[in-house]
C-alpha cells in the first residue's frame, strides 16, 4: 500500500515539475494566495525566484479577480477556480492530477517549504529567501528540525548561514537583560508579568532568585551559573502553569533546540538581526506584518532588513496585551453551537496586531481546540484573526469566501465587520 502511495506522490511531483518547466515557455504566471502568513511568504518566494529567471509572476491576494482561462496559475492555500489553463494548486488536500491541473501537497510541510523545494528542482533559489521558510514553519507551529523544512535548514547550515543550537524563545535574549527579555516575550505569554521587567525581577526575587536587573541570559551562561539559570527556567514554567489555562507547561517552551542565524552572516548580508536570537522568537515579530497589509508580508523576504515597523508593532502589542488581556479574559463570552466554539474577547481599543494578540491568547490556553475560534470585539466592530480560523481547523477558504460575500472587510490579517450583537459572526462561523 505504501509503495502505491509513494508512486502516486512521485507522479504528482513529476507533473508539478512539468508545470514549473512550462513557465519558461509562457514567460509569466499568475499567483493567487490565501491571506495567511505562510502562503504570503510562499507567494513572495515564488515571485522573486521566478522573476530572477525572467518569468514574470503577478501576485494577487484573495479576494481576487478571476484570471483569464488560458494563462498559467498557481494557487497557494486556496483552490483554483474551474478553468482550462494550466494550474498548480499548493493546498492541503489529497494529491491530484487531471489534464490541466495538479494539486500538490506534502505532509508535515507548509506552502513556503513546498514552494522552495519545488523551485530548487529547477532554479537557483537565494539563501536569503530560504530563511523565510524556517520562519513560516515556526509560524505554522511546525518543528523546523523535522520534515521538509529540515532539508532547507541543512542546506543553510552548509552555507554557514544558520546553525542548530540550544536557543531560548525569549525576546532578544542574547542582548536584553533577562527580566526585560521575559517581560517582552509574546509566546510564551507571561500575562501579569508582561511589559514589566520590574515585575519579572520581583517575581524571581520573591522565589529566592536575586538577579540583577541588568543581567542577561548570556551573562549567566558565560559565568557558568547554570544552576541559577535552570532555577529561573523552572520558576518561569511554574508561573505559566499557575496563571494560564494550559496544564503541563514544558521547559521546551522556553529553551529548546532550534535554529539561529550565524552572527558572522550579518557582516555580509542584510538580514534581520533578530534572527540571531533564534528564528522562533523572531517569527512572532514578523507575524505582525500581516496586520500592516498582505503585501508587507510579500515584501518580507526582500526587505525584511528594513522592517523596523514590525519590531515596533510587536513591542506595542505586548504592551497592549499586558494592559487589555487580563480584564478581557475575565469578561470573555463563550458561544457554542454545532460542535464549534467562539470565545469573544472585549477590548477597549483596536489591537496593534490582532494576529499576534490571538497567538498570545492561544498560548494562554484559549482557542487551542479544534473548531474553536477567537474573536475580538471593539465597540460595535468585531475582528476575527484569519489565523484563528486556520488554526481552528475550520474550512478557511469557505469562511473567507462567505465573509467577503457578506460584506466583511479583510483588514490586514483579520476579517472585520460591524456586528454589535454578534449575529454576523454566528452566521459566518456556525451557518
- CA 16 to centroid of chain Cα atoms: 25
339: region left, alpha or beta (phi > 0 left; psi from -120 to 50 alpha)? left
Look at 282 and 65; give whichever has higher pLDDT: 282
Q: Which positions ≥6 away from 388 have C-beta within 8 Å?
A: 358, 362, 367, 373, 374, 375
Q: What is the mean pLDDT of residues 66-82?
A: 87
Band of the pLDDT at 1, cuts 50, 70, 90?
very low
pLDDT of residue 5: 52
Question: What does the alpha-carbon distance between residue 164 and residue 167 come to, in Å, rounded to a whole number?
Answer: 9
β-strand 372-378 against 340-347: which pairing, if any? parallel
At 129-159, the pLDDT tens digits run 999 999 999 999 999 999 999 999 999 999 9
Give the helix ranges, DSSP H, for 216-307.
Answer: 217-222, 226-243, 279-287, 294-303
Prediction pTM value: 0.95
Q: Answer whether 353's CB lies under 8 Å from 292's CB.
A: no
Give yes or no for residue 166 having a pLDDT over 50: yes
**Short-list 258, 281, 234, 287, CA closest to 167:** 258
Is CATH 3.10.310 correct for 321-430? yes
- pLDDT average, residue stretch 345-365: 98
59-84 mean pLDDT: 87
pLDDT at 371 over 60: yes
What pLDDT does residue 339 have?
Answer: 92
What does the pLDDT average to over 34-61? 96
- The per-residue pLDDT for range 334-348, each reduced to its tens digit, is 999 989 999 999 999
**Average pLDDT value for residue range 313-329:** 97
Q: Is the pLDDT of residue 7 over 80?
A: no
Nearest to 197 by CA among 216, 212, 210, 184: 184
Average pLDDT over residues 164-177: 96
> What is the domain partition of the chain in residue ranges?
2-125, 170-244, 321-430
Q: Which CATH superfamily is domain 2-125 in?
A: inorganic pyrophosphatase (n-terminal core) (3.90.1640.10)
pLDDT value at residue 146 = 95
Amino acid at each position: 500500500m505504501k509503495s502505491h502511495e509513494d508512486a502516486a506522490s512521485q507522479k504528482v511531483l513529476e507533473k508539478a515539475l512539468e508545470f514549473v518547466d512550462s513557465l519558461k515557455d509562457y514567460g509569466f504566471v499568475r499567483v493567487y494566495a490565501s491571506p495567511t502568513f505562510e502562503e504570503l511568504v510562499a507567494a513572495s518566494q515564488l515571485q522573486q525566484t521566478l522573476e530572477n529567471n525572467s518569468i514574470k509572476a503577478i501576485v494577487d491576494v484573495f479576494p481576487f479577480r478571476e484570471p483569464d482561462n488560458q494563462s498559467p496559475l498557481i494557487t497557494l492555500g486556496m483552490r483554483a477556480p474551474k478553468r482550462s489553463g494550466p494550474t498548480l494548486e499548493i493546498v492541503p488536500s489529497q494529491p491530484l492530477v487531471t489534464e490541466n491541473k495538479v494539486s500538490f501537497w506534502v505532509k508535515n510541510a507548509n506552502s513556503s517549504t513546498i514552494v522552495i523545494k519545488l523551485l530548487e528542482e529547477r532554479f537557483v533559489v537565494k539563501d536569503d529567501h530560504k530563511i523565510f521558510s524556517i520562519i513560516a514553519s515556526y509560524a505554522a507551529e511546525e518543528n523546523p528540525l523535522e520534515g521538509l523544512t529540515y532539508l532547507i535548514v541543512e542546506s543553510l547550515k552548509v552555507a554557514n548561514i544558520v546553525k542548530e543550537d540550544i536557543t531560548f524563545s525569549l525576546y532578544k535574549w542574547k542582548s536584553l537583560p533577562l527580566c526585560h527579555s521575559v517581560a517582552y516575550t509574546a509566546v510564551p505569554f507571561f500575562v501579569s508579568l508582561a511589559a514589566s521587567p520590574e515585575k519579572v525581577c520581583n517575581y524571581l526575587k520573591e522565589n529566592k532568585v536575586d538577579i540583577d536587573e541588568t543581567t542577561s541570559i548570556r551573562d549567566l551562561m558565560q559565568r557558568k551559573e547554570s544552576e541559577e539559570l535552570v532555577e529561573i527556567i523552572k520558576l518561569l514554567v511554574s508561573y505559566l502553569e499557575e496563571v494560564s489555562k494550559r496544564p503541563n507547561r514544558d521547559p521546551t517552551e522556553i529553551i529548546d533546540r532550534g535554529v539561529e542565524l550565524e552572527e558572522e552572516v550579518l557582516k555580509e548580508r542584510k538580514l534581520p538581526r533578530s534572527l540571531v536570537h533564534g528564528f522562533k522568537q523572531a517569527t512572532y515579530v514578523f507575524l505582525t506584518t500581516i496586520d500592516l497589509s498582505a503585501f508587507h508580508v510579500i515584501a518580507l523576504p526582500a526587505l525584511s532588513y528594513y522592517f523596523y515597523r514590525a519590531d515596533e508593532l510587536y513591542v506595542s502589542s505586548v504592551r497592549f496585551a499586558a494592559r487589555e488581556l487580563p480584564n478581557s479574559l475575565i469578561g470573555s463570552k463563550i458561544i457554542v453551537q454545532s460542535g464549534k466554539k467562539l470565545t469573544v474577547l472585549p477590548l477597549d481599543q483596536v489591537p496593534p496586531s490582532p494576529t499576534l494578540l490571538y497567538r498570545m491568547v492561544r498560548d494562554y490556553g484559549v482557542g487551542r481546540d479544534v473548531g474553536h475560534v477567537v474573536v475580538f470585539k471593539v465597540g460595535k466592530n468585531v475582528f476575527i484573526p484569519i489565523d484563528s480560523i486556520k488554526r481552528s481547523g475550520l474550512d478557511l477558504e469557505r469562511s473567507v469566501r462567505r465573509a467577503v460575500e457578506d460584506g466583511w472587510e479583510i483588514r490586514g490579517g483579520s476579517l472585520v465587520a460591524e456586528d454589535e450583537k454578534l449575529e454576523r459572526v454566528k452566521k459566518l462561523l456556525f451557518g
